[in-house]
Structure 1
Amino acid sequence: MTGLSRLILKRKILILIVGFIIFAVGIFSLFKINREVNMVDYFKKNSEIRQAEDMMESKLGGSIPIQILVKGDLQEPAVLKEMIKLEKYMKSLPDVHSPQSIADLICEMNDVMNDSYCIPETREEVANLWFFLEGNEILPQLINSQNNEGLIQAKLGTVDTKKGRYIIDSIDDFISKSINKQIVKVELTDLESNELKSINRKRVENISNKIFYDATYYGFEIKDRDALENILHKYLTKNDQEISTSNLTAKLVDYMNDENGDLFIESSSLQKKVVKSLIRYVKKNKDYSEKDIVVNLKKVVPDSYYKDDPEMLDYAAMSIISIIDNEIKWSRVNNLMKEITPLFSKDIQQNHDFKKNLIGDVWEINDTQIFISKTQFENINKDDQISPISLNLQQTGMPIIYKDIDENIVSSQTYSLLFAIGFVFILLAIQFKSFIGGLISILPMILTVLFNFAIMWIFKIPLDAATVMIGSVAVGIGIDYTIHFNSRFHSEIEKNKSLEDALETTLQTTGRAIIINAFSVMFGFLTLLLGSIVPMQRFGWLIALTMVISAIESLTFLPSLLLITHASFIGDLKNMAMRRAINIKANIKQKRNNFTEKK
């Protein structure tokens, strides 16, 4: 220990410089350490659990469910449309796979029945599709028996805490900013022109966003989004009823060939006559009713077809109007699709699923009633009293729990360290009866904790449920070394020993005990390396290293700091240093005089 004593006396400034460099690096590393609440990381890479999870991530989209609780009338188109909007956004996020809800099933059924993958416009249409879903074994997993609560489910394809936190925050942000919680149904025909302009701008934004989310998910890029929105706005504001004559002819002929239909006509010549008459009438008259269609049918269809059933033509007219309206809608959508197709980076025909979703996105141009937020409605109808449709969405499940644990790790680390350091400082200040004494005594401990953080940053060790305890443990164990050293050094100074003798005696006695204790604790914690839980292994060797560093700091940095600051709570170090300097000068002078006399 004599060599260490001499090193401290000669190189105390250098030791302090090294200590403060470690201090600076530790402070820097505090903001660089990655936080992790990855349960899979608890197992080694070659373990079966880890390999199974890796397989789930790479091939099946992950094993962690994302669940969003939906509260509202799930048979209401407004609620279902908001759910689809959220699902499309979720699909556009990285590492989110296979969102699913009752809204998806409605869209799928609508695609099967009506060739459009979207939520129908009216509650009656939703009810018709819902009828075909009843009894499906998946329904109890998505909705409750009262149809007023449901789930949007997806799979999180990563266990990385940072990525998971980003996804959770992104979904929460989207729900708070883009999902309407109070929804009002509005008939477009009831709006004035200036109100319709405001509504259409919002509709364009909504459709454009859904297209963007789908394009992102399927790997397409939109070359010019402004051009896309201009095209959407054009089709939302145009009122002409374009119709494909060939498609309408084929649909009407199919209808009249159906033996179970309301108007079964075997004669092909009569079919052509009826179809030609209907198409000519529809092109000339934009506003037509069932009565108008009945009148037109009576002109070309012989009495023998309906004399036994006078209401047959009424039912036929209803079906024919439905066919005509559907073809008008499809004509508008197909024309729009032709215009927006060149705006995508790849041919949409190459991806059937993207095309299906894209058609569902733009189908909204055919809606005659829309759903807007209560706030937007009040801006255009300040005097009207309405009863809005309520909707509430809230994230649940394990990702939220992981996020809370992650946030608690940070707060626990901060509060526990601040409390431990503050409490120890107060006790030391009381023991040494000096504020400076307490401050100097906790510096080696703080330096040890920062050194631990620097090591974690350098070796990319995350801050998790195990490593978060290291700082507090280091404070609790490491402070003993500081107290033992200060007490013994103070005792030796009181014996009127010189600084050199006091320091050397302290290092020879208490210093040896500190080293033995540090290595004993170190080997004790190193036994954790024999376990199979990775965070506990990290905790073991980090605590072991921390104990050794704490001992080194107490035997080098602390005495150097005491000597340079002339800490008065230890003794009259300043005057002792001055007396030592005077004695050295006196000895040199005496030796010079002796040498002169001999000469």
Structure 2
Amino acid sequence: MNYFNDKFGGTDFLYVYTESNNVKNPYVLRQMKKIGDYSRQFNTFGEPSSITDFLTQLNDAMENKNIIPASEQKIDNSTKEMTSTSLDHAITEMYKFIEGIPKKVRTIELSEIEEDEQSEYYQKLAEEIISSLMVKNIEIENPEKLKEELVKIAETPNSEFEKNTKEFVEEILKVSSLEIEDLGIVSTDLFPIFANYITEKGSQDDLLGELMENLTLSEDDAIYLLEGLEISKKIVQDREKVRFAQSETERLIGKNLTDEEKDILWYLMDEEIYVPDDNGDIMVSFTLTGIPVITDKINTSLFRGQAKSIIVAFIAVSIMLMLQFGSLLLGLFAMIPITLTIVTAFGVMGLLSIDLNIGTIMVASIAIGAGIDYTIHYISRYKNELKKRSKIEAMKITLTGTGRAIVFNSVSVAAGVFVLGFSEIQMMAVFGKLIGSVMLLSVIYTLTLLPILLNSIKLKEEGKK
């Protein structure tokens, strides 16, 4: 437990409950960060964590300021509410990505493979680099071309990236600074000797002799320095190889890589490669867990239940309308305005990118409940008037009488529901706006489409006038 307490912030959590009328206000967020920073004074607590960590890092990336933004507008632009449909999409995509990771791999030592067979394994290395870049949301138009270029670079010996330049020599001496300082040597004295060694591609024996002669070093000290310089030279050769890979990668993808993305190209220096193999010596599996997964399961269950409820409600209401009006066709016609209201509502939600959640999924149920009232009132009045009048007269009286009452009712109810649109709870605000709109839509379809449908059929009441 001590390890987890030291490295991961502990196994128990002390939560600080924050209550505010606007938790996105910069003052509130900065005080939250201040509380977290204050807790670091106590060894009892581990590393604090909150939404402020994300916001400061994001602001640092966007504006090079590692602080909470001073503007609430900037905070709004930096955050996006996690709704149920976006959560479901994110988790689904995560599952797909995880499933694509090989469960078993075999370790291949490149040094144990014949040189003419190494190309096959370098391709695996290049594929790993490309996939690692792509998961960072880097668009690669021609992955095969990049793969081919990376394989060529991987196959090229590191010594081929040695340069006869002042910068190359200076970098080697900088890497060897500890050995140089340990022997009390000045880099400017060593530079011409080592630069000549690099330029002339001299032997190590010649360099060893020059070190002993020109720097008055003992043989042991000269060997110690030579070994350090050779190791540093290989390190700088590796760096040059990665830099070349970086320039070629940036040329092919058409954008500059960040420092973190550049580091992925160091995979080219790997001496071990991992190849998918059902009999491999390394086994790994990943599983998504945590509150987001639980939330997604609950949302999925709710959506499925709601979908079943809507289907059952449609069937039940249709049957009741058919029985009430004594006509199969009239019962079906009565459901058309309700159906179009629901289709229109969900279509607008899609166009406006309004996500489905526990609140918005209720739109269909409420549309059925509200729309069916308007339909029953309208058709019942129309049938009664039809017993005494012609179709046109019955339609006029129904529209001016019951139709007017339906309009007043829907407008008043919609106005009451629209008030929820001013709620600070985003889900409640969207819910209010949607339900108010659905009420008005239902009336529009009822009073425009239903008269046309009723006029197209002959009802038994027509013969009783």
Q: TM-score when scaled to structure 1?
A: 0.48
Contact 1:97 1:157 in 2 (8 A): no
1:560 aligns with 2:452: yes
What letter corresponds to residue 236 of structure 1 in structure 2? E
User: Which of the numbers 136, 150, 155 marks the counterpart of 1:236?
Assistant: 155
Give the whole-Å Cα distance in 1 for the aligned partners of 2:88 and 2:141.
Answer: 28
Counterpart position of 1:330: 235
Q: In terms of Rg, which structure is larger? A: 1
1:445 aligns with 2:445: no
1:528 aligns with 2:453: no
Secondary structure of the 1:48 match is coil
Contact 1:474 1:546 in 2 (8 A): yes
Give the whole-Å Cα distance in 2 for the aligned partners of 1:414 and 1:95.
Answer: 41
Contact 1:525 1:540 in 2 (8 A): yes
Counterpart position of 1:187: 109
- Would the alpha carbon gap of residues 239 and 505 (structure 1) be closer, same or farther in structure 2, given more than 3 Å must change? closer
Contact 2:417 2:432 in 1 (8 A): yes
Contact 2:383 2:461 in 1 (8 A): no
1:280 aligns with 2:254: no
User: Which of the numbers 380, 391, 406 marks the counterpart of 1:487?
Assistant: 380
Contact 2:126 2:151 in 1 (8 A): yes
Name structure 2 gaps, 5 residues minimum: 1-20, 31-49, 63-77, 184-188, 209-217
Counterpart position of 1:518: 410
Counterpart position of 1:436: 329
**Shift of the alpha carbon at 1:443?**
1.3
Counterpart position of 1:197: 119
| Deviation by residue 1:381-435 (Cα, 9 ceiling, x = unmatched) | xxxxx56222223344566567667767865665444332232112222333432
Give the whole-Å Cα distance in 2 for the aligned partners of 1:503 and 1:226.
Answer: 71
1:49 aligns with 2:23: yes
- Would the alpha carbon gap of residues 552 and 50 (structure 1) be closer, same or farther in structure 2, given more than 3 Å must change? same
What letter corresponds to residue 276 of structure 2 in structure 1? S
From the two aligned structures, give the one with the greater strand fraction. Answer: 1
| Deviation by residue 1:339-397 (Cα, 9 ceiling, x = unmatched) | 44653669xxxx9x956863x4444444433322225xxxxxxxxxx562222233445
- Would the alpha carbon gap of residues 456 and 339 (structure 1) be closer, same or farther in structure 2, given more than 3 Å must change? closer
User: Which of the numbers 269, 272, 278 marks the counterpart of 1:369?
Assistant: 272
What letter corresponds to residue 189 of structure 1 in structure 2? S
1:35-74 to structure 2, matched below 5 A, reads 48-52=22-26, 63=51
1:248-267 to structure 2, matched below 5 A, reads 255=179, 258=182
Contact 1:204 1:232 in 2 (8 A): yes
1:382-397 to structure 2, matched below 5 A, reads 388-397=281-290
What letter corresponds to residue 370 of structure 1 in structure 2? I
- Between the two proteins, the alignment pairs up a number of residues equal to 376
- Would the alpha carbon gap of residues 441 and 175 (structure 1) be closer, same or farther in structure 2, given more than 3 Å must change? same
Contact 1:96 1:157 in 2 (8 A): no
Give the whole-Å Cα distance in 2 for the aligned partners of 1:53 and 1:168.
Answer: 33
Secondary structure of the 1:394 match is coil
1:159 aligns with 2:81: yes
**Shift of the alpha carbon at 1:561?**
1.3
**Shift of the alpha carbon at 1:185?**
1.8
- Would the alpha carbon gap of residues 184 and 472 (structure 1) be closer, same or farther in structure 2, given more than 3 Å must change? same
What letter corresponds to residue 332 of structure 1 in structure 2? Q
Name structure 1 gaps, 5 residues minimum: 1-46, 57-61, 67-90, 99-155, 260-267, 284-298, 306-316, 376-385, 581-599
Secondary structure of the 1:372 match is strand
What letter corresponds to residue 332 of structure 2 in structure 1? L
- Would the alpha carbon gap of residues 95 and 424 (structure 1) be closer, same or farther in structure 2, given more than 3 Å must change? farther
What letter corresponds to residue 241 of structure 2 in structure 1? L
**Shift of the alpha carbon at 1:225?**
8.5
Deviates more, 1:407-416 or 1:200-209: 407-416
User: Which of the numbers 464, 467, 473 marks the counterpart of 2:366?
Assistant: 473
**Shift of the alpha carbon at 1:476?**
1.0
Secondary structure of the 2:452 match is helix
Secondary structure of the 1:392 match is coil
What letter corresponds to residue 455 of structure 2 in structure 1? L
- Would the alpha carbon gap of residues 520 and 393 (structure 1) be closer, same or farther in structure 2, given more than 3 Å must change? same
Contact 2:122 2:154 in 1 (8 A): no
What letter corresponds to residue 48 of structure 1 in structure 2? N
**Shift of the alpha carbon at 1:332?**
3.4
Secondary structure of the 2:102 match is coil
**Shift of the alpha carbon at 1:438?**
1.6
Counterpart position of 1:593: none
Give the whole-Å Cα distance in 2 for the aligned partners of 1:518 and 1:223.
Answer: 57
Give the whole-Å Cα distance in 1 for the aligned partners of 2:435 and 2:260.
Answer: 58
What letter corresponds to residue 108 of structure 2 in structure 1? V
**Shift of the alpha carbon at 1:473?**
0.6
What letter corresponds to residue 155 of structure 2 in structure 1? L
Give the whole-Å Cα distance in 2 for the aligned partners of 1:548 and 1:250.
Answer: 75
1:176 aligns with 2:112: no
Give the whole-Å Cα distance in 2 for the aligned partners of 1:465 and 1:96.
Answer: 35
1:547 aligns with 2:452: no
- Would the alpha carbon gap of residues 184 and 438 (structure 1) be closer, same or farther in structure 2, given more than 3 Å must change? same
Give the whole-Å Cα distance in 2 for the aligned partners of 1:192 and 1:324.
Answer: 29
Of structures 1 and 2, the one scoring higher in RCO (CA 8 A, sep 6+) is 1
Give the whole-Å Cα distance in 1 for the aligned partners of 2:161 and 2:420.
Answer: 76
- Would the alpha carbon gap of residues 361 and 222 (structure 1) be closer, same or farther in structure 2, given more than 3 Å must change? farther
Give the whole-Å Cα distance in 1 for the aligned partners of 2:441 and 2:143.
Answer: 60
Counterpart position of 1:24: none
Contact 1:183 1:372 in 2 (8 A): yes
Contact 2:126 2:150 in 1 (8 A): no
1:92-107 to structure 2, matched below 5 A, reads none
Give the whole-Å Cα distance in 1 for the aligned partners of 2:392 and 2:353.
Answer: 42
| Deviation by residue 1:495-552 (Cα, 9 ceiling, x = unmatched) | 4554355445655765565455435534543453564434434433543443344345
**Shift of the alpha carbon at 1:171?**
4.6
Give the whole-Å Cα distance in 2 for the aligned partners of 1:490 and 1:337.
Answer: 83
Contact 2:322 2:331 in 1 (8 A): yes
Give the whole-Å Cα distance in 1 for the aligned partners of 2:420 and 2:260.
Answer: 56
Q: TM-score when scaled to structure 2?
A: 0.59
- Would the alpha carbon gap of residues 239 and 258 (structure 1) be closer, same or farther in structure 2, given more than 3 Å must change? closer
Give the whole-Å Cα distance in 2 for the aligned partners of 1:202 and 1:195.
Answer: 13
- Would the alpha carbon gap of residues 53 and 511 (structure 1) be closer, same or farther in structure 2, given more than 3 Å must change? farther
**Shift of the alpha carbon at 1:232?**
4.8
Identity %: 24
What letter corresponds to residue 113 of structure 2 in structure 1? L
**Shift of the alpha carbon at 1:480?**
1.9
What letter corresponds to residue 375 of structure 2 in structure 1? T
- Would the alpha carbon gap of residues 325 and 432 (structure 1) be closer, same or farther in structure 2, given more than 3 Å must change? farther
Give the whole-Å Cα distance in 2 for the aligned partners of 1:208 and 1:500.
Answer: 71
- Would the alpha carbon gap of residues 452 and 228 (structure 1) be closer, same or farther in structure 2, given more than 3 Å must change? closer
- Would the alpha carbon gap of residues 321 and 356 (structure 1) be closer, same or farther in structure 2, given more than 3 Å must change? farther
